[in-house]
Copies of this chain bind each other. A is one copy, B any other.
């Protein structure tokens, strides 16, 4: 029988492998601007990743080789011409925090230890950043999907009362409201929480893709007349299709007037509060009952890292707190520090993701993070104007924040949807750039998302010239 400890027999060999791997990882990040954007995993490596469950271990140098071999095959989001979906570009300094987090191996479900105080500091910073009260509830989570579930659970339970947790909604039929541009995670939260996604009413948008408040008022009135119970209003601060920001002050007024829980989905948009240019457009967000946002998008903390803030800390606690004997709190010792994070969310096992957020804010400071956001907004405005000026390209919506949706439509394009999808795939497969696709008013769009601190003007020039070249090439095939 082998020695059961998992500590290395040869610490020197582990150290050598770790230092070597650290250099290779930093080499990769230092050359993030070079080479291809996205490189598919080679077939040989795919085959290698279908091995049987290993009974025997391997040496650290060999493990380091295996790990290093994966470095070129990420999503591509560390490259300056990655424009897909809403991905952050990452932070080389984040490696520091992850080394320490791995060594500490802390579980942040609860108890009284150093990591807990770091998360508390991060949450205080989140409150300060977002203009939330110092005594509001909060939790660091994987991202806005989870943050939205937590926020809407607190809203559900606050509306139904204590029986919500033990007996469900009973006969009460709750309804919530979000715009047609709201992220799919909102409807998914309704599904998860047993309300059913149909209970989320989809409010039409105005021409600027923000929620139509007049339509919203009508829908609330109609649902109320029908005996339903409106309980939540979800505003979007930065829609995923176009970066639209709802009239958050207007929504806050309606929520206050109708007694609704006002939740803001600020997945990437909320952190633009650090940009002088965007901040005024987020007015009203600070009045939300709950706010969900990510650090791994426009703030570039390495994946994954998000946050939920809930104004009424007691409502937050009431939705999650409940501890059995084996988790009983104590006034002293390791089980002290009540309430624990587990009292604010569904997860009892929680890694130390707060550390990379804390380190990131210390490393860069909010001024620099805000400036990177401002530059992306300026780049999007420039790109939108350029597209508008370019024959053969059609801008599908004004670029009001950081997302530009357009398409190639030179004369004689038979099937513009298929052609533009082919252009995007060709861009991705060639390694030149990686935009994604979406549909705007039914039209397939090339979607360029700028949450990338490495992108420069020449990257955008190259993107446009390649779209024109590929459009000509693929359009005549």
Contacts and interface: CB of A to CB of B under 8 A. Distances in A.
A285 B430 CA distance: 47
Interface stretch (A3-11, A207-215, A224-232, A255-263): A3-11
Interface residues of A, number: 176
Nearest to A91: B6
Interface in A108-152: 108, 111-115, 117-118, 120-121, 124-125, 128-129, 142-146, 149
A206 interface: no
A51 B365 CA distance: 13
A362 B145 contact: no
A477 to B, nearest CB: 15
Contact of A45 (B114, B328, B349): B114
Contact of A196 (B15, B55, B96, B167): B167
Contact of A28 (B103, B195, B421): B103
A303 B105 contact: yes
B103 A374 contact: no
A409 interface: no
Interface in A320-365: 322-328, 330, 332-335, 346-353, 355-356, 359, 361-365
A161 B328 CA distance: 38
B40 A112 contact: yes
A372 B3 CA distance: 8
Interface stretch (A69-77, A245-253, A459-467): A69-77
A41 interface: yes
A72 B350 CA distance: 19
Interface in A228-277: 240-241
A143 B347 contact: yes
28 contacts: A2-B368, A4-B453, A7-B454, A17-B96, A18-B26, A21-B99, A25-B99, A38-B334, A41-B117, A49-B121, A50-B124, A54-B366, A57-B362, A71-B103, A74-B114, A75-B105, A75-B111, A85-B327, A97-B102, A102-B302, A165-B197, A166-B191, A166-B198, A168-B169, A240-B326, A296-B349, A303-B351, A304-B347
Contact of A41 (B55, B113, B191, B333): B113
Interface stretch (A382-390, A392-400, A433-441, A468-476): A433-441
A388 to B, nearest CB: 22
Nearest to A173: B168
